[in-house]
Homo-oligomer: A and B are copies of this chain.
Amino acid sequence: MENLSKTELFSGISDEDIQQMLVCFQSFQKNYKEKETISIRNSFGDYIGLLLEGCISISRIRMDGSLDMLEYIEDSGIFGDAFTFGNQEDAILVLCEQDCRVLFIEKHHIIKRCPNACLHHSRLVENLMHLMAGKVMRLTEKVDILSHRSIRGKLLCYFRILSTQAGSPVFPLPFSLMALANFLCVDRSAMMRELKKMKEEGILERNGKMMRLL
């Protein structure tokens, strides 16, 4: 019902065709409020989620209760158990960090060939390719960050990415320090200690969530 033609997934497809596809795809939209849980593992197993608005985090909850953020998805990111992979013991938590609007599409319709040969299906697939390429880049970035052995290495690697994105040595953290520790998969207090050290050594300035890399 909303204007989907402006989203990256449906760009270049007319509103009528979009409506037709949505029916053909048996897709549905859902709105969520901040801090609401989208799904725990497997509830949307056969669907791919497309984040139209808002931002979400995907985390693993271990048996001991510890929580590690696997992904942080903002713009028109894709997610779903199809990607969050199958043979997982621990629970996966998909949490809305802001009010969100999500479009669910049956995996089948996107990955496999459409038997109805919808006219604009291939355009959709091409758009989806863009989104996938973006996801691959973000995941590669994440692997890059986590591949650093030390907390300082992870912090610096991530800060450089943020700094490059902002196009300036000054940039804001996209989330809280607590969430940052989860994102980097390190202990929060150890991270605070390291941040303090880096400040003392003059590598970094910090004022709340605003950072300056020197």
Contacts and interface: CB of A to CB of B under 8 A. Distances in A.
A150 to B, nearest CB: 11
Contacts of A130: 111
Main secondary structure of the interface of A (DSSP, over half): helix
Give the most central of A88, A110, A133: most B CB within 10 Å: A133
A146 B144 contact: no
Give the most central of A82, A143, A160: most B CB within 10 Å: A143
A198 interface: no
Given A68-B147, A149-B186, A85 B126 contact: no
B142 A83 contact: no
Contact of A128 (B87, B129, B160): B129
Given A122-B122, A122-B125, A149-B185, A139 B132 contact: no
**Copies of this chain held together in the complex:** 2
A132 B143 contact: no
A130 B129 CA distance: 10
Interface string A84-110: 110111000000000000000000001
A79 to B, nearest CB: 10
